[in-house]
């Protein structure tokens, strides 16, 4: 099929219309602006009452979130940072989950004004990875110690759903020996790809998709129109309902996000909340994670430098804080677009997932393995630290790295994981799996220095585990001790 004919058959209007309510989508801009304008009373009493609700791990209402977004008193913000950190601790404890992005193709039929991959950008060298090249990329990612990847694609017939499914199978098939001589492999593949039909999404479900991630970029309709002037991505509602279609395809683990810097950050936070709310209303399951990339300079993109809504570091920390407080049991992802100082700072107020050793050029991991120069990228990377360096830094901060992928493989996803998170049960399993996977990492990939500090952390974790009633009551202490011993002796991939 030629590109034009392919484009013509992608969007299925009936797979948009079925989710509309009275012909309307869930983003009512007047309502969002009204919420932001009507909730300007940010007295300490009022804000603290809202923070108490967050501490009780309850999702905030739109009005409550708007109130937090309107806080101007910097002392109050300091309190909010502390509460956000405490909320994170209550739901996710001290764990951070890691992943690596794997860019498989940069051919794209779209014209997003902030992106170097847009089709008009003649300066971009275009490439779609072959199966062999994907194997080499995966090999390098495994050599760093990763167990979880997010595969990323432009929107193009050469990287359609069939290609995505094949590339996922290729990634899952790669095995690589670690330092301990055991086979290492990717245990979970998340997908960041263009909106698809329910039929195409079912194909990804069959090959074992983890999370399906589609960012709306901006919820503000005029801004969306001007940032996405043509191509398939110009259709706001086709994108807005991508994850509703995923739910209908049986993928109950989905991720939303906005590209901060295109429009007012307070509006976008509200947009994300309305998105989460509609998923919950229509399917009973909110998003698993929220991402908040910031516009950073992309080669060949004027908008990425000139936008009047660029978000500074201070406001960035504030928006992450409000998200943590508004949706306590939703994961928050901070990527290597941000520099190490910013990442270390916002991790404190509640992020749960990070990438590291990140390369975003097409075929860039293999190039790194051979010390070759990288091609141009979709955006600029701010944090070039290796996985070991980031793990080490987090361990210094008392945070344990988790490579756990058990929830997905035990069927703890969607509404099941939401219930477990709300009751605090999922966190208990995660704590054990974090220790087990961290032990694997320390033995298989860590430097001596990281191993030393990591082992101290594990010791502390065990002290806590041994004293927690939950593990005693559920007879999990003997299980964890047995699994830990077996992993220390070289067994791999044991989880609860
Ligand atoms: S942001 Fe995505 S859809 Fe838009 S041009 Fe870049 S790769 Fe294509």
Asked if 111 and 449 touch (Cβ cutoff 8 Å), the reply is no
Distance CA 432, CA 437 (A): 9
Q: Which atom of ligand 1 is nearest to the CA of 233?
A: 3
Residue 110, ligand 1, Cβ within 6 A? yes
The pLDDT assigned to 472 comes to 86
Rounded average pLDDT over 283-298: 90
Mean pLDDT, rounded, for 62-78? 98
| 169, 134 contact by CB (below 8 A) | no
Ligand 1: residue whose CA is nearest its atom 3: 110
Indicate if ligand 1 lies below 6 Å from the C-beta of 154.
Answer: yes
Q: What is the pLDDT of residue 380?
A: 76
Q: pLDDT tens digits for 11-35?
A: 999 999 999 999 999 999 999 999 9
pLDDT, residue 37, reads: 98
pLDDT at position 493: 87
Q: Answer yes or no: is the C-beta of 119 below 6 A from any ligand 1 atom.
A: no
- For the beta carbon of residue 405, count every other beta carbon within 10 angstroms: 21
Residues 369 and 363: their CA atoms lie apart, in Å, by 10
Mean pLDDT of the chain: 93
pLDDT of residue 412: 61
Q: What percent of the chain shows pLDDT beyond 90? A: 81
What is the pLDDT at residue 377?
62
User: What's the confidence (pLDDT) of residue 452?
Assistant: 97
Task: With both helix axes pointing from N to C terminus, report the angle between 313-326 and 265-283 in degrees, rounded to the nearest 10.
Answer: 20
Mean pLDDT of 110-128: 91
The DSSP 8-state label assigned to residue 160 in this structure reads S
Ligand 1 midpoint to CA 111 (Å): 7
What's the pLDDT at 417?
62
Pocket test for ligand 1, best of 10, 105, 106, 118 (most atoms within 8 A of CB): 118
CA angle 12, 128, 160 (to 5 degrees): 15
> What is residue 132's predicted lDDT score, i.e. its pLDDT?
97
Convert the pLDDT of each residue in 332-373 to its tens digit: 999 998 999 999 899 999 999 999 999 988 999 988 888 777
State mean pLDDT over 3-14: 97
Neighbours of 111 (CB within 10 A): 17
496 — pLDDT class (breaks 50, 70, 90): confident
Percentage of residues of the chain with pLDDT beyond 70: 94
Per-residue pLDDT at 426 exceeds 70? no
pLDDT digit string, tens, across residues 451-489: 999 999 999 999 999 999 988 888 889 999 999 999 999
| 114 Cβ below 6 A of ligand 1 | no
Q: How far apart are CA 464 and CA 467, in angstroms?
A: 5
232, 233, 235, 377: which to mutate for ligand 1, most atoms within 8 A of CB? Answer: 233
Ligand 1 site-directed mutation target among 155, 301, 379, most atoms within 8 Å of CB: 155
CB neighbour burial string for 10-29, b if at least 16 within 10 angstroms, e if fewer: bebeebbeebeeeeebbbee
Ligand 1 center to 418 CA (angstroms): 31
* CA–CA gap between residue 452 and residue 82 (Å, rounded): 29
Using the predicted structure, report yes or no on whether residue 374 has a pLDDT greater than 80. Answer: no
Domain residue extents for the chain:
3-24+87-380
Instruction: Please work out whether the CB of residue 94 comes within 6 Å of at least one atom of ligand 1.
Output: no
Instruction: Please state whether 149 falls in left (phi above 0), alpha (psi between -120 and 50) or beta.
Output: beta
CA of 392 to the centre of ligand 1 (A): 34
In this structure, the number of other CB atoms found within 10 A of the CB of residue 489 comes to 9
| CB 115 less than 6 A from any atom of ligand 1 | yes
- Report whether pLDDT(274) > 90: yes
Question: Which neighbouring-strand residues pair with 258?
Answer: 217
Ligand 1 binding pocket mutation candidate from 111, 127, 154, 295 (most atoms within 8 A of CB) = 154
How remote is the CA of residue 226 from the centroid of ligand 1, in Å?
14
Q: What is the 3-state secondary structure (H, E, C) of 471-482?
A: HHHCCCHHHHHH
**CA–CA separation, 393 and 383 (whole Å):** 13
Q: Span 441-450, mean pLDDT? A: 96
Q: Is residue 311 pLDDT above 90, yes or no?
A: yes
The fold of the 3-24+87-380 domain, in CATH, is TIM Barrel (3.20.20)
Non-local (6+) Cβ contacts of 3 within 8 A are 109, 156, 157
Looking at residue 410, its pLDDT comes to 67
The H-assigned helical ranges of 43-191 are 44-55, 62-69, 74-92, 131-144, 161-173
Question: Which ligand 1 atom is the nearest neighbour of the CA of 119?
Answer: 5
DSSP 144: H
**pLDDT given at position 138:** 97
Binning pLDDT at 50, 70 and 90, where does residue 300 land? low
Four-point Cα dihedral 339, 341, 342, 344, nearest 10: 110
**pLDDT on residue 349:** 94
Confidence (pLDDT) at 473: 86
Q: Is residue 421 pLDDT above 70, yes or no?
A: no
pLDDT at res. 411: 66
| 108 alpha carbon – ligand 1 mean position (Å) | 6
Q: Tell me if 295 CB under 6 Å of ligand 1.
A: no
Give the pLDDT mean for 379-408.
89
């Amino acid at each position: 099929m030629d590109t034009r004919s392919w484009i013509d058959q992608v969007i299925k209007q009936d797979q948009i219309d079925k989710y509309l309510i009275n012909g309307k989508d869930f983003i009512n801009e007047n309502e969002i602006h009204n919420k932001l304008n009507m909730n300007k009373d940010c007295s300490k009493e009022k804000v603290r009452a809202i923070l108490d609700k967050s501490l009780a791990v309850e999702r905030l209402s739109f009005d409550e979130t708007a109130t937090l977004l309107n806080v101007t008193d910097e002392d109050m913000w300091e309190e909010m940072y502390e509460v956000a950190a405490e909320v994170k601790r209550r739901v996710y404890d001290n764990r951070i989950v890691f992943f690596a992005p794997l860019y498989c193709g940069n051919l794209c039929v779209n014209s997003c004004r902030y992106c170097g991959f847009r089709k008009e950008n003649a300066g971009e060298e275009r490439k779609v990875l072959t199966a062999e090249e994907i194997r080499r990329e995966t090999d390098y990612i495994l050599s760093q110690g990763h167990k979880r990847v997010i595969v990323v694609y432009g929107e193009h017939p050469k990287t359609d759903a069939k290609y995505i499914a094949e590339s996922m199978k290729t990634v899952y098939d790669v095995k690589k020996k670690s330092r301990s001589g055991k086979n290492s492999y990717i245990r979970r593949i998340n997908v960041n790809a263009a909106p698809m039909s329910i039929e195409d999404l079912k194909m990804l479900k069959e090959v074992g998709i983890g999370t399906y991630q589609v960012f709306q970029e901006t919820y503000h309709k005029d801004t969306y129109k001007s940032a996405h002037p043509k191509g398939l991505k110009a259709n706001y509602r086709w994108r807005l309902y991508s994850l509703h279609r995923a739910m209908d395809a049986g993928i109950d683990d989905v991720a939303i996000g906005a590209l901060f810097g295109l429009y007012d950050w307070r509006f976008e936070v509200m947009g994300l909340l309305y998105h989460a709310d509609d998923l919950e209303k229509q399917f009973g399951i909110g998003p698993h994670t929220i991402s908040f990339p910031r516009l950073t300079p992309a080669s060949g993109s004027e908008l990425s430098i000139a936008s009047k809504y660029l978000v500074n570091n201070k406001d960035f920390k504030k928006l992450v804080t409000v998200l943590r407080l508004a949706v306590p049991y939703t994961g928050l992802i901070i990527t290597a677009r941000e520099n190490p100082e910013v990442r270390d700072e916002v991790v404190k107020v509640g992020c749960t997932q990070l990438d590291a050793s990140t390369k975003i050029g097409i075929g860039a991991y293999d190039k790194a393995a051979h010390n070759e120069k990288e091609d141009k990228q979709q955006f600029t990377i701010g944090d070039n630290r290796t996985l070991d360096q980031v793990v080490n830094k987090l361990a210094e901060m008392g945070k344990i790295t988790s490579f756990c992928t058990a929830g997905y493989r035990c069927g703890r996803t969607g509404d099941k994981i939401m219930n477990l998170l709300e009751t605090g049960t999922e966190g208990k399993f995660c704590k054990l799996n974090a220790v087990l996977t961290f032990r694997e990492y320390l033995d298989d990939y860590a430097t001596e220095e990281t191993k030393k500090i990591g082992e101290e952390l594990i010791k502390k974790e065990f002290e806590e585990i041994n004293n927690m009633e939950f593990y005693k009551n559920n007879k999990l202490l003997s299980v964890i001790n047995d699994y830990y011993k077996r992993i220390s002796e070289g067994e791999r991939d044991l989880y609860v």
